Structure 1
Amino acid sequence: MIRVALIGSTGYTALEVARLLLAHPQAELTVATSRSDEGKPLAEIHPSLAGRCEIALQEFAPARIAEQADVAMCCLPHGASAETVRELAAVGIRVIDFSADFRLSSVPLYEHWYGVKHPWPERIGSVVYGMPEYYADEIATADIVANPGCYPTSAIMPLAPLVRDRLIENDDIIVDSKSGVSGAGRSPKLGTLYCEVNESIAAYAIASHRHGPEMQDLIHRISGESVQILFTPHLTPMDRGILSTIYVRPKLLEGDTVETVQTRLMGALRHAYQGQPFVHVVDHIPATKHVVMTNHVQMTVRVAGEKNSPGRAVIVCAIDNLSKGASSAAIQNMNVMFGLDATTGL
C-alpha cells in the first residue's frame, strides 16, 4: 500500500486528492498537514469527508512525515512550495508538487513570470513534468514530479503533437480558455464572490497570464520547436472544468481541401494518443460536462474555409481543472511512480 502525505490540505485540489485516495485500492492517505489549522480533523475543513476520513491535521515536520508516508502531494502556492519540497526530498520522500515552482525549464523564465527568487534554483530544469503521456519513463524513477498546470494541460495536449509533426504554423497560435471558478482557489477574493461571478463571464490577465509561458516551454520541450502563443483565460460561472478553443493555421499541401486538412490533423492526434487511456480524440464537440470529475481529456478539430480553400483550424479541448488539471493527474503520476497501472483508482 502506498502511503500518501497531503501537504497543505485546505484547498480544493487537496480535497480532490483526499477524495480520490479514499477510493484508491492501493494507496491511502496517512498524513495531512496545515500551517494554520493544525489539530483540526480534515473532515472539519472539508465537511464532505465526514464519516469517511478520520485524519487530523499535523504540523509540517519532514522527519516525522518520512516515517508515515512514501510520497507527498504538495498543494502549496508557488514560492512557498519549493522550499517545502526541498525539505521533503532531503528526508527521502518522493514528491508530486502542485505549484509552478518546478514546471519551467529555466530560472530566469520562472523568476520573470512569478516575481520571486527561486529558493532551489539548482533543480530548475531537472524536475520531470508530470504528463505521463509524454514523460512516463522519467516519472517512474523521479524523486520530484512537477504536476502540470490546468490551463497548460488543455493546450499542450492538443498542440504538442501537431507542432511536433510540423502540421501547423508555430508563430500564430491563439488559445482562448474558459475555466470554472474553482481554478482561482478556495481563499476568498473579490473577483470570485458569487455576486461578481454569477451571470457573468470575464477575461483576465490578457497576454500576461503565467500559464502562457508554461504552454510555450513545454511544447518546445516535447516537440523541439519554438512556438508563439497568445493566451487569454476567462472566468465562467461554473464550479469546475476548462474548455480551451485553440485557433491555428495548418500547413497546407497542394490540392488540400477542408476535409483533407481536418482528416490529417485528427489523424495526427489519434496517432499521438493511441493507447493512452485518458486522452480521447472525438468526432463530437467536447464540453466540460463530458469530462467533469474525471481524469479524461476530450479534443477535436474543425477546419474553417471554403471546401477547396481551407483556412484556420479550430481545436476544442475539454478537461476538468481540478481533476486532469490537478488532482487526478497527480494520482496518475503517483501510479506511474510506484509501478501501478496508470488508471488505478481513476
Structure 2
Amino acid sequence: MKVSIIGATGYTGEELLRILANHPQAEIIHITSESQTGTSIESVYTHFNGFYEKKLDSMKELEKIAKASDAVFIGLPHGHAMAAGKVLSQYGTKVIDLGADYRFRDISVYEKWYKVEHTHPEAEAVYGLTELYREQVKAAQIIGNPGCYTTATILALAPLAKNNLIDFKSIIVDAKSGVSGAGRSLSLNSHFTEMFENFKAYNIAGHRHTPEIEQALTEFAEGPVIISFTPHLVPMARGILSTCYAALKPGVSSQDIDDAYNSLYEDEYFVRLLGRGGYPATKNTRGSNFCDLGWHIDERTGRVIVVSAIDNLVKGAAGQAIQNFNVMFGMDERLGLMQAPLYP
C-alpha cells in the first residue's frame, strides 16, 4: 500500500516512520513539513540514516499526495487536519488523523473543548480504538485516532461500563504521562530543568481528553458517564500509566470483574491481561503497541482499581494508527507492530 504522512517531523510522525520502515505492505510515498520543506528526513532525525533518504514536501502538494496515496496519516495539531481531510476524502484516499479533529460524534463537544470551529462536519469519521470499534474501522474512510490518555483509560474501563458493574458517577482517573506527550515544540513546562526530578499535575478538571473518554464510556454503558480526570507529567520520555477508580455496584463479585475483562479482551493480541492483582508498568510496554491491564478489588471501600500501561507514542498514537491502517485494508492488524517492548 502506498502511504504518506502529513506532519512527519513531530514525535508521532517520527514514530510512524520508525514503525512503517519495517511494515511489509507499506511504501512511504510523501512526507511533509511546512517548517522544513525540502530538507531530508534523516537530517532532521539522524537515527533514520540508512532507512530513509526522502525529502520533506509541503501540504501545498495535497492533491498530488492524494492521487499518489492509498492512505494518508495526518500528524498535525488540532484544527489543521480538517482542511486536509476534506481534500483527501474527495479522492477516495483513506485518512487516519492522529489529532482530535475527527474523534467526536458531536462536533459541538469538539468545538467547546478545543475552541475551534469544525469545518468538516459531513465527514463520517470512525473512532479508531481498534479493539472496541474494529467492525466500524474496517469500513471507514476517515479515522479519528484516539489520544494517549484516552486509549489507556477507555481500555481500562470499557469492560466495567459494558457490563454495568460500577457506579458511573464515581469514576476517578489519575493518569501520568511521559514528556513526549507534550509534543516536540519547545515549552517551559517540558523544559529539562522544569521536569528533572519533578512530578506535577496539570489541567485539573479541564483536560481535553476528558470528553473523549466520556463519549466512549457512555456508549458502552448505554447511559451518561462523567469522570473526574487528573493528568500528570512525569520525568520520563514516553509512557502512560492510568489508574482508574470506581465504586462497585451492590452484589458485584471479584469473579464478575475477572469475567468482564476476559470476555472482552481474551482474543485481543495487543491487550495483555495481567489479571486481578496485576501491576502494569510503563517500561513493560515501552516501544510497543501493547496495553497492559491489571485490576484490584478493595473490599474495604467497595471499589475496583484498574491500572493501565501503554507507550503514548505507539499504542497511544502511531502504533494504533498503523493497527487501524491494517484493519482498513484487510491485512493482519499485527503487521509492522510485532516489536517486543524495549527493556530495560
- Shared topology, TM-score over 0.5? yes
Alpha carbons 1:16, 1:322 under 8 Å: kept: yes
Q: CA deviation at 1:288?
A: 0.3
Aligned partner of 1:5 in structure 2 is: 4
For 2:274 and 2:48, locate their aligned partners in 1 and report how far apart those are by CA, in whole Å.
35
For 2:220 and 2:17, locate their aligned partners in 1 and report how far apart those are by CA, in whole Å.
31
For 2:125 and 2:92, locate their aligned partners in 1 and report how far apart those are by CA, in whole Å.
16
Aligned partner of 1:288 in structure 2 is: 282
For 2:220 and 2:303, locate their aligned partners in 1 and report how far apart those are by CA, in whole Å.
23
**Residue deviations 1:167-186 (CA, integer Å, cap 9, x gap):** 01111100000000000000
SS of equivalent to 1:282: strand
Q: CA deviation at 1:34?
A: 1.1
SS of equivalent to 2:31: strand
For 2:255 and 2:238, locate their aligned partners in 1 and report how far apart those are by CA, in whole Å.
31
SS of equivalent to 2:319: helix
SS of equivalent to 2:298: strand
Which runs of structure 2 are paired with 1:42-121 in the superposition (5 Å)? 42-60=41-59, 61-121=61-121
Aligned partner of 2:238 in structure 1 is: 240
Amino acid at match of 1:302: H
Pairing partner for 1:178 from 170, 176, 179: 176
Alpha carbons 1:5, 1:69 under 8 Å: kept: yes
**Residue deviations 1:269-302 (CA, integer Å, cap 9, x gap):** 1111121110111133000011111110111111
Q: CA deviation at 1:263?
A: 2.8
Alpha carbons 1:164, 1:225 under 8 Å: kept: no
For 2:326 and 2:89, locate their aligned partners in 1 and report how far apart those are by CA, in whole Å.
19
SS of equivalent to 1:248: strand
Alpha carbons 2:161, 2:220 under 8 Å: kept: no
Alpha carbons 1:150, 1:325 under 8 Å: kept: yes
Alpha carbons 2:164, 2:221 under 8 Å: kept: no
Alpha carbons 1:77, 1:99 under 8 Å: kept: yes
Q: CA deviation at 1:21?
A: 0.6
CA RMSD, aligned part only?
1.2
Aligned partner of 1:216 in structure 2 is: 214
Aligned partner of 2:29 in structure 1 is: 30
**Residue deviations 1:246-265 (CA, integer Å, cap 9, x gap):** 11001121xx7xxxx33321
For 1:185 and 1:36, locate their aligned partners in 2 and report how far apart those are by CA, in whole Å.
15
Alpha carbons 2:4, 2:30 under 8 Å: kept: yes
Amino acid at match of 1:163: A
For 2:233 and 2:321, locate their aligned partners in 1 and report how far apart those are by CA, in whole Å.
24
For 1:227 and 1:83, locate their aligned partners in 2 and report how far apart those are by CA, in whole Å.
32
Alpha carbons 2:129, 2:145 under 8 Å: kept: yes
Pairing partner for 1:336 from 319, 323, 327: 327
For 2:91 and 2:260, locate their aligned partners in 1 and report how far apart those are by CA, in whole Å.
44
Aligned partner of 1:320 in structure 2 is: 311
Aligned partner of 2:134 in structure 1 is: 136
For 2:63 and 2:83, locate their aligned partners in 1 and report how far apart those are by CA, in whole Å.
15
1:228 aligns with 2:222: no
Alpha carbons 2:67, 2:91 under 8 Å: kept: no
For 1:263 and 1:239, locate their aligned partners in 2 and report how far apart those are by CA, in whole Å.
37
SS of equivalent to 2:244: strand
For 1:112 and 1:281, locate their aligned partners in 2 and report how far apart those are by CA, in whole Å.
36
For 1:223 and 1:103, locate their aligned partners in 2 and report how far apart those are by CA, in whole Å.
19
**Structure 1 spans left out of the alignment, 5+ residues:** none
Amino acid at match of 1:228: I
1:276 aligns with 2:268: yes
Q: CA deviation at 1:303?
A: 1.2
What TM-score, normalized to structure 1? Answer: 0.94
Q: CA deviation at 1:92?
A: 2.2
**Residue deviations 1:26-85 (CA, integer Å, cap 9, x gap):** 112121011111110011111111121011111221221123211000000111111111
Which runs of structure 2 are paired with 1:292-303 in the superposition (5 Å)? 292-303=286-297
Alpha carbons 1:301, 1:316 under 8 Å: kept: yes
Amino acid at match of 1:222: F
Q: CA deviation at 1:10?
A: 1.1
Pairing partner for 2:258 from 233, 252, 266: 266
SS of equivalent to 2:184: coil
For 1:227 and 1:98, locate their aligned partners in 2 and report how far apart those are by CA, in whole Å.
25
What TM-score, normalized to structure 2? Answer: 0.94
Amino acid at match of 2:52: C
Amino acid at match of 1:34: S
Q: CA deviation at 1:222?
A: 3.3
Q: How many residues align?
A: 334
SS of equivalent to 1:15: helix
Identity %: 42
Amino acid at match of 1:42: I
Q: CA deviation at 1:217?
A: 0.7
